[in-house]
Amino acid sequence: MPSKKNAVNGKLFSNKVLGLVDRNREVKQLMYALFTQEHMLLMGPPGTAKSLFASRAFKAIDGAKTFSIHLTKQTTEEYVFGPLNIVELKRGNIVHNTKDSILEADFAFIDEFFDASDVLLRSLLGVLNERVWMKGQQKVDAKLHTAILTSNYQRENDVTQAVLDRIIFQCEIKPITAKTKRIRVFKDFLEDSNFQPPKILDLKKLKVFTDKVNDQKSVKFSEQILKTFDELIEEFARESKKYISQRTANKALKVVKVSALLDGRDEVIYKDLEELRYVLCVLNRRVEEEIFDAVYEKYVGNAEEEQILVKDLDEITTRFKTIPADFDKLKDQNFVEKMSELMELIHLLEGMKCPTPRTEQKRDKLIESMRRVVDANRDKLFKRGGK
């Protein structure tokens, strides 16, 4: 059953709307981050417009409050979560004044993310995932919807790994290599260097849509879809030797739901699983994406073939049920027609290629049932003539 019309439209997001060149796939990943209320990490060399990407993304959302900061090793919690309340400090209480901090923002742009100290990164963990900040006796709920983090490099230790596991959308921003596209960038700079993106999405409508994504009953998953979803993730993790946590796998389900909802459906189909590349892979990391393509073809391709074949087998089964098991009461012409129809169906089934053991078993069982009817009636027509 088609779902009701959604408050948002994924087609609004594009290079052109954000004034970018050759960033269609990155913009699509951004769209999923916004629609699932998750975060996005942009990595790449200096000068690849990572900051421009982030600032324009949030400017395109009407009614939103954005927090921006450039992190360094010397950046303390006060710059991110607000300064200490002097009155409370004199009383011996450590309390931050969180007004205009990341905790009160709808969106956050955090530049040079990996330059931050481990202490600050630990403090960001709860905000990024649970949307809660705790410091001593102070506990503050964060409004944060989505954060975009940028960095020129990736720093790896226990703390950064924990943070990265909470950033399910990751992307390597590559320099633009095609000459025609570089010329387009030059022209954009010369003609409209102060480009301001139009407001393409209202914050209230965005929140209505994310509530629908988070609604457990908004989109249905069949048992077979969930099985294929699990097989795809497990095989990708094996082949890529990349750790996919249960947290990431659970959140990936939301991406699949978004794909279905944007297509006007309340049920997931196999093609929605292709959108998992935006979660499982670091976007533009070619090796990971090639592995995903191979795994997707292996599991989803077979699953789609199985779905089509099962439908064909069901239709043949329906036809078979219209043929009587005993031909004694059939007239001679009908007798011959039904026998010919059975033989035709058997030949059709024998020529079917089964992608899975389940469909092969179902096909063989159907062939066996048809042959029993043929064998039981084969000689009856000749016996009639001999009477």
pLDDT over 70 at 102, yes or no: yes
Architecture of domain 215-322: Orthogonal Bundle (1.10)
Per residue in 204-220, pLDDT tens? 999 999 999 999 999 99
Q: How far apart are the C-alpha atoms of 244 and 48, rounded to whole Å? A: 28
Per residue in 216-233, pLDDT tens? 999 999 998 999 999 999
38 falls in which pLDDT band (50, 70, 90)?
very high
pLDDT over 60 at 275, yes or no: yes
Please spell the DSSP secondary structure of 27-50, one letter per residue. HHHHHHHHHHT--EEEE--TTS-H
Question: Percent of the chain at pLDDT above 90?
Answer: 50
387 falls in which pLDDT band (50, 70, 90)?
very low
pLDDT at 5: 54
Task: State in words which class domain 1-214 has.
Answer: alpha beta
Domains of the chain: which residue ranges? Answer: 1-214, 215-322, 323-386
- In order of 51, 322, 323, 347, 375, the CA distances from 327 in angstroms are 77, 12, 9, 20, 11
6 falls in which pLDDT band (50, 70, 90)?
low
pLDDT at 9: 64
pLDDT at 360: 85
Would you say how long the chain is, in residues? 387
Q: Span 316-325, mean pLDDT?
A: 90
Question: Percent of the chain at pLDDT above 70?
Answer: 95
Pairing of strands 146-151, 40-43: parallel
1 falls in which pLDDT band (50, 70, 90)?
very low
Q: How far apart are the C-alpha atoms of 72 and 152, rounded to whole Å? A: 13
Report which of 177, 146, 328, 173 is spatially closest to residue 251, judged by C-alpha positions.
Answer: 146
Per residue in 148-195, pLDDT tens? 999 988 887 888 888 888 899 999 998 888 999 999 889 888 888 788
Q: How far apart are the C-alpha atoms of 291 and 304, rounded to whole Å? A: 19
Element (H, E) at 159: helix 158-164
Report which of 106, 114, 110 is spatially closest to residue 146, judged by C-alpha positions.
Answer: 106
8 falls in which pLDDT band (50, 70, 90)?
low
pLDDT at 137: 82
Burial of 31 (0-12, 13-18, 19+ CB in 10 A): buried
pTM of the shown model: 0.79
Q: Span 334-358, mean pLDDT?
A: 85
Q: How far apart are the C-alpha atoms of 334 and 381, rounded to whole Å? A: 11
